[in-house]
Structure 1
Amino acid sequence: MCDKDSEQDIQAYLSSSSRLNRRDFNKLLALGTLAAGFPQFASAADVVESNVFVATPDGTADCYFVRPASGKHPSVLMWPDIKGLRPAFKAMAKRLASAGYAVLVLNPFYRDVKGLALPAGVEFPSEEAWKILRGYRAKLTPDAVVRDARACFAYLDKQPEVSKKRGAAAMGYCMSGSFVMRAAAAMPERIKAIASFHGGGLATSEPDSPHLTIPQSTAAVLHAIAENDDKKDPQMKQLLREAYSRAKLPAEIEVYAGTLHGWCPPDSKAYNDVQAEKAWSRTFALFDKALNQHSK
């Protein structure tokens, strides 16, 4: 998962590589030239986007909601990584919406801050950034995560663009990889697919390990694991496979070769476009089968 060791791995990788490892996503976005650097995020479909507020038991969460301009669609809740809600995740949500989904991206740190997670002038990674983010993260207990999930899906189910008759999905990155598992276990009647990307701590020896919630879930699963995360915790994937097998749930659990923690968001220093595109293709396949085909 995201920690100082992961950042050191990324820095070592960037130092030893002569190829371009990080394109300036936010700069391209600001210049209006995103399609030139990231054509996969240039949505051709007609979508509607808005910044919205969702009432939760713990306060009011600021979120980004994007959906197709017409029709009713399956809903997807997307949790960002530890760096929070930002332009890269809005672009990712927009890409998903263009494929026919109503997508809500939650600011996971709304209890402490609205908008960007870090104040101006504080760069990630740094000691100051870690101190701030760890303080935010400490409030995201399993119970808090489930409360947020219920509130977000309650919001989504009230939207005219959402089909409540069709299954819903959840996506998580880094710290939020475990969040989707807890949400699926808490809402088995609603959440029919979950996908996590470079998620950490998904299966541990702790009594509250996320993988212990699997028997309560009915969701089909994709866990896309970073190669360097797997080297640090090679048992996680096996524990996950055994748990899903016992629960008789379809689960695609794969270590993505050559990837570093954080390789999916396009603004990450570890972004791996080839493997990120593979993860997108597997996500689309999972959602199509779990949310679309079963309802036809």
Structure 2
Amino acid sequence: MPNITDTITTADGTCTVRLFTPDSGEGPWPGVVMYPDAGGVRDTFYQMAAKLAGFGYAVLLPDVYYRHGDWAPFDMRTAFSDTAERNRLMSMIGSVTPDMMARDAGAFFDYLAARPEVNGERFGTTGYCMGGRTSLVVAGRVPDRVAAAASFHGGGLATDKPDSPHLLADNIQASVYVAGAINDGSFTPEQAEQLDKALTAAGVEHTIETYPAEHGFAVPDNLVYDAAAADRHWAAMREFFGTKLPR
């Protein structure tokens, strides 16, 4: 799939990104920002971004950990069982705040709007695990730039913390699709209900589903990767963006 590596100047530094475009047809195409899971950008996400681009989108994959400089990639097969790597991972997760997510998103959207491969001024966001939370945070904090926001096995979507994404529901102008996982302490049935109530009260068009698979089901290098659930997520995302993103 055609792609370029580039850098975007943000308020906090320089973020490396990769932009994927379809290998057939003529652009410009709708733009989508894909936020990776806690493991950050790596080979499996290059493959995922390329697959989404193949559906007819210009897909921006950013290094959400760029503030850490040239950080060492995680091996997601052992990242949580190795104490040192788990501590490093959790530290990096905690270092990305909602304010940072919003500032970065503004720069990402400006970049997409200026690219000849991309059409429109409003975009899609999608994400996995912590990226699923980022997708909703951005929809609530940069609402005029997001037309469709998807979250897959995202955690922390409705909590008792003051920066919980569900508290941004009144700001969201995008359509929202959320796919949770079973046995997921980071997004329980009670939290799904809380998010649903918040989005409903705010008049946000949304769908919230629970897939019969574990947290991490959509990402191929995760130990709990579930091929059937991953296929379902691709089909759902293709339909969601196909109907909600302006072309």
TM-score, normalised via structure 2 length: 0.92
Contact 2:154–2:187 (8 Å) recurs in 1: no
Whichever residue aligns with residue 137 of structure 1, its letter is: I
Contact 2:157–2:166 (8 Å) recurs in 1: yes
* 1:135 Cα offset (Å): 2.2
Partner of 1:7: none
Residue by residue, what CA displacement relative to the aligned partner does 1:99-146 show, whole Å, maximum 9, x if unpaired? 11000111111100336534x9x9422111112122222221110111
Contact 1:146–1:182 (8 Å) recurs in 2: yes
Partner of 2:215: 261
Partner of 2:129: 174
Whichever residue aligns with residue 78 of structure 1, its letter is: M
Matched positions, count: 243
Partner of 2:173: 218
Partner of 1:204: 159
Whichever residue aligns with residue 134 of structure 1, its letter is: M
1:189 maps to 2:144: yes
Q: Which runs of 5+ in 1 are unaligned?
A: 1-46
**Residues 184, 50 of structure 1: alpha-carbon distance in 2 compared, 3 angstrom cutoff:** same
1:241 to 181, 196, 209: 196
What secondary structure sits across from 2:201 in the alignment? Answer: helix
**In structure 1, distance between residues paired with 2:237 and 2:230:** 10
1:76 maps to 2:32: yes
Write the mapping of 1:98-177 to structure 2, written as runs, cut at 5 A.
98-114=54-70, 116-118=72-74, 123-125=78-80, 126-165=82-121, 167-177=122-132
**In structure 2, distance between residues paired with 1:79 and 1:129:** 21
**In structure 2, distance between residues paired with 1:231 and 1:143:** 21
* 1:188 Cα offset (Å): 1.9
**In structure 2, distance between residues paired with 1:115 and 1:205:** 32
Residue by residue, what CA displacement relative to the aligned partner does 1:20-40 show, whole Å, maximum 9, x if unpaired? xxxxxxxxxxxxxxxxxxxxx
**In structure 2, distance between residues paired with 1:50 and 1:265:** 22
Q: CA RMSD in A?
A: 1.9
What secondary structure sits across from 1:64 in the alignment? Answer: strand
Partner of 1:27: none
Contact 1:181–1:214 (8 Å) recurs in 2: no
**Residues 269, 115 of structure 1: alpha-carbon distance in 2 compared, 3 angstrom cutoff:** same
Partner of 1:281: 235
Partner of 1:252: 207
* 1:230 Cα offset (Å): 6.1
What secondary structure sits across from 1:260 in the alignment? Answer: coil
**In structure 2, distance between residues paired with 1:232 and 1:172:** 15
Contact 1:178–1:200 (8 Å) recurs in 2: yes
What secondary structure sits across from 1:270 in the alignment? Answer: coil
What secondary structure sits across from 2:29 in the alignment? Answer: coil
What secondary structure sits across from 1:168 in the alignment? Answer: strand
Residue by residue, what CA displacement relative to the aligned partner does 1:174-218 show, whole Å, maximum 9, x if unpaired? 112211111112222221101111111100122221100111011
Whichever residue aligns with residue 231 of structure 2, its letter is: E
Q: Which protein is richer in helix relative to its size?
A: 1
Contact 1:85–1:116 (8 Å) recurs in 2: no
Contact 1:86–1:116 (8 Å) recurs in 2: no
Q: Which runs of 5+ in 2 are unaligned?
A: none
Contact 1:109–1:117 (8 Å) recurs in 2: no
Write the mapping of 1:48-67 to structure 2, written as runs, cut at 5 A.
48-67=2-21
Partner of 1:291: 245
TM-score, normalised via structure 1 length: 0.78
Contact 1:202–1:236 (8 Å) recurs in 2: yes
Contact 1:84–1:116 (8 Å) recurs in 2: no
Percentage of pairs with the same residue: 35
Question: Runs of at least 4 residues of structure 1 off by over 6 A?
Answer: none
